[in-house]
Amino acid sequence: MGMALKVRGLRASVGSMRILNGIDLDVPFGQMHALMGPNGSGKSTLCHVLCGHPDFTAEGEAWVDGREVMGLEADERARLGLVQAFQSPVAVPGVDLAELMREAAEERGIDSAEANRRIAEASRRFDMDPFLDRSINDDLSGGEKKRSEIFQISVLSPKAALLDETDSGLDIDMVRKVAAAVEEMRGPGMGVLMITHHSRILNYVEPDRVHVMMGGRIVTSGGPDLAQELEKEGYEGLRKRLGIEAPRAAASAKPSSDFFTDLPFEV
C-alpha cells in the first residue's frame, strides 16, 4: 500500500523552544488516522511544520506520496498534495472564498469549468453558498470557519489531508457531515490525519489507527479501541499506564490551552 504521508524523525522548534521531539508516522492511502493528545502536546505544530509554516525550524523527513516535502515552500507542499484544514484560520479581508479556490485551481492547471464544478459540489455538501463571495474567514463564527476549511479540503482533494480539530466548534449535524465527507474522501487517492480532542467524531467515522501524542512524541498507537480506552482512563491514566512523567517545559507552560494558539501571532 502506498503512503499518502510518511514522517520520520521529525523535530521542530519555535525560537529556542523544542515542540516536536521526533515524530514517526505512516498514513497509507485509503486510511484515516486519528491523532489525539492533551493540549500542548504539539499536534497543531505537527500540522504547521508538515505544511511549511515559516516560523518553525524543523529537522527530519516527510514524504507525500513518496515525494520529499521538508525544505519546500508551503505552496509547493500544497501542490504536491499536502493540505491542512486549519484549527484557527486567519481572516483574509477582500479576498473571497470562491476566488481563492479558483486561484488555487488555476495554479494547479485545473481549468475553470472543472474548478467551478468542484466548488459548486463542495458548496452544496457543506452549505457554503452564502460564503463563496464573502471574504475568507472574515466575520465568520468558529463553526463557519471549520466548514469553510473542510469545504476547501473537499475542493482541493489533496493526497494527504491534515484536519486540525475540524470537528470542534461544530454542531452535531455538521460533525456528521464532516464525518461523512471524511468517510467519502477516504478513497484510494487520499489519506487523512485527523487531529481531535474529542472522541465524539469517532462515533461517526471509524479511524484505521489512533495515535496519541504527548510532549512532542507519539507515545502509543493502536486501533479504534484506543480512542475508547482514552475516553475512560483519560490522558492522565494513559500517562501512568505508559510510565510517562507529566510534561514540563513547553507543554506545561500553557496547560489550559493549545500551545499553538497562544503563540504571539495569529494563525
Partner 1 sequence: MLSLNSDTLERLNATLPASLASRRREALREYGRLDMPNPKEENWKYVTLGFDLDHMTIPATPGDSLPEGDFLAALTNRAGSAVMVDGRLIGVENHSEAWLGSATEAWEAYPPSDLLTPDTDKFAAAALAFSSDGISLRIPRNRAVDAPFVIDVQSTLPDTVTFPSLDIRAEENSEATVVVLFRSPDGMASVMVPNLQTTVGYGARLSVTTVGIMGTEGVTVMHHRSRIGRDATFRAGEIGLGGRLARIDLRTTLEGAGGSVEVVGLYFGEMEQVLDYRLVVNHVGRSTSSDVFLKGAVEDQAQSIFTGLLRIEEDAVGTSAFETNRNLVLSDGAKANSVPNLEILCNDIICGHGSSVGPLETEPMYYLMSRGLSRERAERVLVRGFFEEAIDRLPLDDLDEPARQAVNRRFAEAQEGGRV
Catalogue the long-range contacts made by 129-135 (C-beta closer than 8 Å, 24 or more residues apart). 131/97, 132/96, 132/97, 132/98, 133/96, 133/97, 133/98, 134/96, 134/97, 135/91, 135/92, 135/93, 135/94, 135/95, 135/96, 135/97
Strands 3-14 and 57-64, sheet pairing: antiparallel
Q: How far is the CB of 206 from partner 1 (least distance, A)?
A: 28
Find how far residue 231's CA is from the centre of its chain.
21
Please report, as ranges, the residues that interact with partner 1 according to CB under 8 A.
Answer: 51-54, 73-75, 78-79, 83-84, 86, 89-95, 99-101, 103-104, 107-108, 135-136, 152, 156, 265-267
Residue type, 147: R
For 184, the enclosing helix (H) or strand (E) is helix 172-185
Q: How far is the CB of 56 from partner 1 (least distance, A)?
A: 11
> Can you tell me the distance from the alpha carbon of 1 to that of 181, in angstroms, rounded to the nearest whole number?
22
Q: How far is the CB of 252 from partner 1 (least distance, A)?
A: 27
Q: How far is the CB of 33 from partner 1 (least distance, A)?
A: 20
> Can you tell me the distance from the alpha carbon of 259 to that of 183, in angstroms, rounded to the nearest whole number?
29
CB 62 within 8 A of CB 236: no
Q: How far is the CB of 173 from partner 1 (least distance, A)?
A: 26
